[in-house]
Amino acid sequence: MKLFYTNTSPYSRKVRITLLEKGLEGNVDSALCNPFEDAAELKIFNPLGKIPTLVLDDGRVVYDSPVICEYLDTLNTNGELVPSSNDARLLVNTWQALADGIVDASYHIVMEGRRDESERSQGSVERWKGSIVDSLKQIERQIATLPAETTMAQISLAAALGYLDFRLSYLEWRNGQANTAAWYEEFAKRPSMVETQPPT
């Protein structure tokens, strides 16, 4: 398998944490690829030109990050990151959607900051910030409902909080989020998190 990714992409980090948690990192050739600078090969496989994109040995192409992680989870029985039972799967997938939504809003803010100042929309930035703040409040209320075992819920949440630290530290997301912060402090010690930390 070949994974197109960057070290700074939060969606790619989620996939890379998943690979490490499943013990599958040795099965994947890594292809560092900045989609904004060298997308030519990537676009052969993914017309959206987005990372992460996973190319399987039989030529099939898998994206986006939730689909890749669900696929990786089927490859062995080292933990069940996407539960097979309906209720548990619904819970985990909804956690993943919430965490990915925080990443989406954060990524939009980062990209907006890279536009020419005259093209930026402060209104959109405020709306994305509002989504992040409200989502964090909900997570703080619901943190005790995370599954006991490690799943895509925790992996997605950790990738999202890690991205806030990496790109939007000025939001100081830990303020008022003591339970989430305590949970993250522990989860961030896992080797899969340490190994995939974005460059400083």
Give SS3 for 37.
Answer: coil
Distance of CA 60 to the CA centre of its chain: 22
Q: Is 52 in the site for ligand GSH (CB under 6 A)?
A: yes
CB of 64 closer than 8 Å to CB of 52: yes
CB of 23 closer than 8 Å to CB of 199: no
CB of 177 closer than 8 Å to CB of 121: no
Q: Is 156 in the site for ligand GSH (CB under 6 A)?
A: no
Print the binding letters for residues 14-43 with ligand GSH: x by CB under 6 A, - otherwise: ---------------------x--------
Closest approach, Cβ 107 to ligand GSH, in A, equals 6
Q: Which stretch binds ligand GSH (CB under 6 A): 50-58, 77-85, 139-147, 152-160?
A: 50-58
Closest approach, Cβ 51 to ligand GSH, in A, equals 4
Print the binding letters for residues 97-126 with ligand GSH: x by CB under 6 A, - otherwise: ---x------x-------------------
Q: Is 64 in the site for ligand GSH (CB under 6 A)?
A: yes
Cis amide leading into 147 (omega within 30): no
Tell which residue, 69, 93, 91, 72, has the closest CA to residue 12. 69
Closest approach, Cβ 49 to ligand GSH, in A, equals 5
Q: Is 162 in the site for ligand GSH (CB under 6 A)?
A: no
Q: Cβ contacts of residue 180 below 8 Å, gap of 6+? A: 136, 139, 140, 143, 161, 173, 174
Which residues lie near ligand GSH (CB under 6 A)? 9, 11, 35, 49-52, 64-65, 100, 107
